[in-house]
Copies of this chain bind each other. A is one copy, B any other.
Amino acid sequence: MTLSLPPELLSRFAALVSPQDVLDEDAAAPRLVEPRGLFRGRGLVIQPRTVEQVAAVVRLAAETGVRIVPQGGNTGLVGGQTPDQSGAQIVLSTARLNRIREVDADENVMVVEAGVTLAAAQEAAREADRFFPLSLGSEGSCTIGGNIATNAGGVGVVAYGNTRDLVLGLEAVLPDGRIWNGLRRLRKDNTGYDLKQLFIGSEGTLGVVTAAVLKLFPAPRDLATAFVGLPSAEAALELFRLVRQRAGSALTGCELMPRIGIDFTLRHMLGARDPLDAPHPWYLLIELSSPVEGGLTGRLEDILAEAMEADLLSDAVIAASVEQTAAFWRIRMGMSEVQSREGGSIKHDVSVPLARVADFISEASSAVEAFLPGARVVAFGHLGDGNIHFNVSQPLGADKAEYLKAWAAMNEVVHAVVHAYGGSIAAEHGVGRLKRDLLPSVKSDVELDVMRTIKQALDPQGLFNPGVILD
């Protein structure tokens, strides 16, 4: 791999970490391509083990004008973690900043380094009889640093909020190489601008997060999970509202799926079974949980019975075992994966005001059908947050590469509907490189200008993740 940086300079960077923390070409290869293969780049990959090593790398970068691409688990879906083709960028991987520094169950906080995987963070909480509620499909390999950089969402947002809501403090290395220690663990602290908010969701463009203080919650003691068949997306929305009203804060999951997604699952997921006897146009996976013991299954039964009376649902089953609960969630979590087995999929990670979700799905589906007859909409996701993964599989028998050429045009069709509904075209995955050029169509000049002003102020050399979010 020939990189466009002078070998002496590469050696200076490499010398800042242990030799085994500079990846050779083979080891680096998977780090240089985004999971869907949409973005491929070149560059030296180094994996510091301490915040001081990170700072040293960044200081040298600042001194020599070398650009840095921070990378966590490399699971992002918008190319925010991938260097460009120039070979002149350095991938600063947080993979070896992987210590759980502290779990304080008494205080309900834990301090973890950026490279700790989400699953490891969840597990550390569990071991202390606590709960860290962030949960997403890639949790086995995505990292806390990446979750913070992208303000990750996932399936727990309806009850616990986005990543932003789960962070009490941060440690970061700024674009000039200084370490900012903001590892506070206070629930209230109004001592000036809340700097951590700037880093959360900035996708590595303002520096690199190296550690965080995360909120923990009481471990759930009771859990009830239902798989519900519904006649329409409107009915799903009504049912969501009913459950929220009846269950209050015990509603901790509410995931929407369409029939076509279940069809794909049955076709491609080994051992998958349809939880319900007959097919239904729409499905909700509903989870109630509570740290206070008792009675959730009965409560969920009552709510579903009430919904059945009101003709909101067609059929429902409540998980009778841990295995069945896991099977329900496997269907939901595999929705993206099974779709990939059906050929090309053009994706939209959008949100709209909750009340408009059903109308949005209907109108956007019609628009897609008019744009490309036979294209198969698979709209699923976090109903309670108004966040739909509006993914469109290729028509049966179409050529995948040919189909994917319609990506930008399809985006335009769908995003126009999102825009008309007052929604967001980047609800939880971020902007990255993939949606950067779309931002001017959804942000005012004033807002983009303030964003540029902040970027310029904190990273005047433009060293951090150039081309991500802003041009």
Interface residues of A (CB under 8 A from B): 104, 106-108, 150-151, 153, 157, 161-162, 164-165, 174, 178-182, 184-195, 197-198, 200-202, 218, 244-250, 290-292, 351-355, 382, 384-387, 422-431, 435, 439, 442-444, 446-448, 450-451, 453-454, 456-458, 469-470
Contacts and interface: CB of A to CB of B under 8 A. Distances in A.
Report how many copies the assembly holds.
Answer: 2
27 contacts: A106-B354, A107-B355, A150-B190, A151-B190, A151-B194, A161-B165, A174-B446, A180-B446, A180-B447, A186-B353, A186-B423, A187-B351, A187-B387, A188-B424, A189-B427, A191-B431, A193-B198, A193-B201, A194-B200, A195-B450, A197-B198, A246-B292, A248-B249, A248-B291, A250-B292, A453-B457, A454-B454
The 6 closest A-B pairs by CB, nearest first: A197-B197, A457-B457, A249-B249, A189-B424, A188-B427, A248-B292
Given A193-B451, A355-B107, A444-B180, A218 B248 contact: yes
B192 A218 contact: no
A382 B189 CA distance: 13
A104 B354 CA distance: 11
B424 A184 contact: yes
A385 B423 CA distance: 34
Contacts of A291: 245, 248
A439 B191 contact: yes
Contacts of A198: 193, 197-198, 454
A425 to B, nearest CB: 7
B443 A387 contact: no
Contacts of A428: 188, 190
Q: Which of A250, A292, A385, A443 has the most CB of B within 10 A?
A: A292
Nearest to A385: B187
Nearest to A109: B353
A184 to B, nearest CB: 7
Given A107-B354, A174-B450, A450-B180, A194 B188 contact: no
A190 B427 contact: yes
B107 A182 contact: no
B188 A153 contact: yes
Given A292-B246, A353-B107, A450-B458, A442 B387 contact: no
B164 A194 contact: yes
Contacts of A450: 174, 180, 193, 195, 458
B442 A247 contact: no
A429 B353 contact: no
B442 A191 contact: yes
B193 A202 contact: yes
A386 B186 contact: yes
A423 B169 CA distance: 13
A207 to B, nearest CB: 10
Contacts of A108: 354
A399 B181 CA distance: 43
A450 B180 CA distance: 9
